[in-house]
């Protein structure tokens, strides 16, 4: 298909790319959505078995589509998310081309040349919706870890049964780390969790899902240009939440009660030993204080909103304000672990993810390989991004956060095309 021309190429057919397509179609801008695998590919192939959405079903909203099943307070499995996104693709009639891998995007005279496994496409504008979690981010010192311990990332991890018997070191205490630590511990294996800075949240607050509060209080709608420290906000680890039918809080205290051993942030390797930070108390304090401030924000909002403002969809009143006990500090934490001793048989790196822009031959990346952009408008004319952390709002990476971002960004794109 050499020499094909369209106005806009959207890269990625997840919820972000498909939402872009929805608004492009609404403005009659001809476009294609290129997808390396299938629609919702990461959800099909790159996540562990037990994963469920962090947001409750009633928050699963895409432009023109919302959850209409029997369990609004439940959390979708990856299969259900895949189905939800697939349905959106079908209903919206998005011009998706699956199995098309983008190998290069280059600036040309008035636009971009997109090279794919299926030929070349020239376009005026490009929307990058390829995701924020394309590859696991693992510290360099992983190479110094002795061979006695098998190493996995969340891309390779599926379920506890695939791990060797014996001790497991889970590294990182964001949503991924706490979820994996909990299920591996339940499999009977001794689990040590290395904890750095994290975001603590209760699953429910005042009888509601905590994400109801994030939405209702307006915290989630806070715009990127209103956030105090945007760089920090964009690097924030995902909150310690899990979408379980029991709506269980999965914070550090819950893991301690399950018998998970805590150690500080994994700072480095020396002679086959993992060395952990002695600063564990402070990461607990930081997380406890931040959670309290957030709950204060919710309470202040609820006070101002009054009974009508804080009623949920059934009209029920919220419960009274709650405060949670501080994170319990272990009496003693180990500062090092001999990884050759056989105590640790496997290591699961839950140390975050990074996007993959190896195909992007436009100079819009910063020194750390992140896309430089202003609310999704990249530093190259006609180049846009969607679905990155705090792209335009705090809720940008959540499914329900994409609609506002996509609408505004496609508005910008349309103005650009119109030469305004």
Using CB under 8 A as the criterion, which residues of the chain lie in contact with another protein when the complex forms? 197, 264-265, 267-268, 270, 275, 277-279, 282, 285-286, 289, 292-293, 367
At CA 130, angle to CA 417 and CA 82, rounded to 5? 115
C-beta closer to another protein: residue 137 or 289: 289
Distance CA 152, CA 203 (A): 27
C-beta closer to another protein: residue 115 or 285: 285
Q: How far is the CB of 337 from another protein (least distance, A)?
A: 13
Q: How far is the CB of 130 from another protein (least distance, A)?
A: 26
Distance CA 343, CA 169 (A): 10
Q: What phi and psi, each to the nearest 5 degrees, are found at residue 385?
A: -135, 150
Beta bridge partners, 274, equal: 269, 337
C-beta closer to another protein: residue 115 or 336: 336
Q: How far is the CB of 280 from another protein (least distance, A)?
A: 9
C-beta closer to another protein: residue 308 or 331: 331
The angle that helices 78-92 and 15-26 make with each other, rounded to 10 degrees, is: 20
Q: How far is the CB of 192 from another protein (least distance, A)?
A: 18
Note whether 319 and 206 are within 8 A (CB).
yes
C-beta closer to another protein: residue 69 or 278: 278
C-beta closer to another protein: residue 117 or 282: 282
Q: How far is the CB of 327 from another protein (least distance, A)?
A: 12
Q: How far is the CB of 350 from another protein (least distance, A)?
A: 20
Q: How far is the CB of 233 from another protein (least distance, A)?
A: 16
Note whether 17 and 386 are within 8 A (CB).
yes
DSSP state, 199? -
C-beta closer to another protein: residue 221 or 286: 286
Alpha-carbon separation of residue 226 from 140, 222, 301, 390, 393 (angstroms): 34, 7, 18, 11, 9
Q: How far is the CB of 227 from another protein (least distance, A)?
A: 16
> What is the DSSP code string of 293-353?
HHHHHHHHHHHHHHHHHT--TT-PPP------PPPPPPS---SEEETTSSSEEEEEE-S-E
C-beta closer to another protein: residue 26 or 326: 326
Distance CA 316, CA 313 (A): 7
Residues whose CB falls within 8 Å of the CB of residue 395, separated by 6 or more in sequence, listed in order:
214, 215, 220, 221, 401
Q: How far is the CB of 275 from another protein (least distance, A)?
A: 5
Place of tokens 């094909």: 4
Note whether 166 and 281 are within 8 A (CB).
no
C-beta closer to another protein: residue 7 or 174: 174
Q: How far is the CB of 251 from another protein (least distance, A)?
A: 17
C-beta closer to another protein: residue 218 or 268: 268
- Helices then strands, counting H and E runs in the chain, come out as 9, 25
Distance CA 374, CA 380 (A): 11
Query: b/e per residue, 271-303, with b = 16+ CB within 10 A?
Result: eebbbbbebbeebbeebbebbeebbeebbebbe
């Amino acid at each position: 298909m050499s020499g094909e021309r369209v106005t806009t190429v959207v890269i990625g057919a997840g919820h972000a790319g498909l939402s872009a397509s929805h608004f492009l179609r609404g403005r009659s801008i001809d476009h294609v959505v290129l997808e390396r695998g299938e629609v919702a590919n990461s959800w099909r192939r790159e996540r562990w078995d037990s994963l469920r959405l962090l947001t409750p079903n009633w928050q699963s909203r895409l432009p023109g589509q919302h959850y209409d099943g029997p369990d609004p307070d439940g959390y979708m499995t990856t299969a259900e998310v895949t189905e939800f996104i697939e349905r959106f693709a079908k209903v919206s009639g998005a011009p998706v081309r699956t199995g098309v891998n983008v190998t290069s995007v280059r600036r040309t005279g008035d636009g971009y040349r997109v090279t794919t496994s299926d030929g070349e496409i020239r376009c005026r504008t490009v929307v990058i919706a390829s995701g924020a979690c394309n590859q696991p981010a693992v510290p360099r010192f992983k190479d110094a870890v002795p061979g006695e311990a098998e190493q996995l990332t969340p891309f390779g991890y599926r379920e506890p049964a695939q791990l060797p018997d014996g001790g497991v070191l889970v590294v990182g205490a964001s949503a991924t780390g706490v979820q994996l630590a909990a299920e591996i511990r339940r499999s009977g294996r001794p689990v040590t969790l290395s904890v750095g800075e994290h975001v603590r949240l209760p699953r429910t607050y005042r009888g509601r899902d905590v994400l109801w509060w994030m939405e209702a209080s307006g915290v989630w709608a806070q715009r990127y240009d209103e956030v105090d420290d945007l760089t920090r906000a964009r690097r924030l680890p995902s909150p310690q939440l899990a979408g379980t039918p029991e709506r269980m809080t999965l914070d550090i205290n819950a893991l301690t009660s399950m018998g998970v051993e805590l150690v500080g942030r994994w700072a480095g390797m020396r002679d086959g030993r993992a060395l952990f930070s002695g600063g564990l108390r402070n990461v607990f304090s930081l997380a406890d204080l931040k959670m309290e401030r957030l709950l204060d924000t919710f309470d202040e909002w609820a006070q101002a909103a009054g009974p009508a403002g804080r009623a949920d969809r059934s009209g029920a009143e919220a419960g009274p304000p709650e405060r949670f006990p501080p994170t319990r500090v272990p009496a003693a934490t180990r500062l090092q672990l001999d990884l050759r001793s056989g105590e640790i048989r496997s290591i699961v790196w839950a140390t975050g993810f990074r996007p993959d822009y190896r195909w992007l031959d436009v100079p819009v990346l910063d020194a750390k390989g992140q896309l430089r952009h202003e609310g999704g408008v990249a530093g190259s004319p006609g180049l846009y991004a969607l679905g990155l952390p705090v792209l335009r709002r705090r809720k940008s990476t959540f499914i329900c956060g994409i609609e506002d971002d996509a609408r505004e960004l496609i508005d910008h794109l349309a103005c650009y095309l119109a030469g305004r």
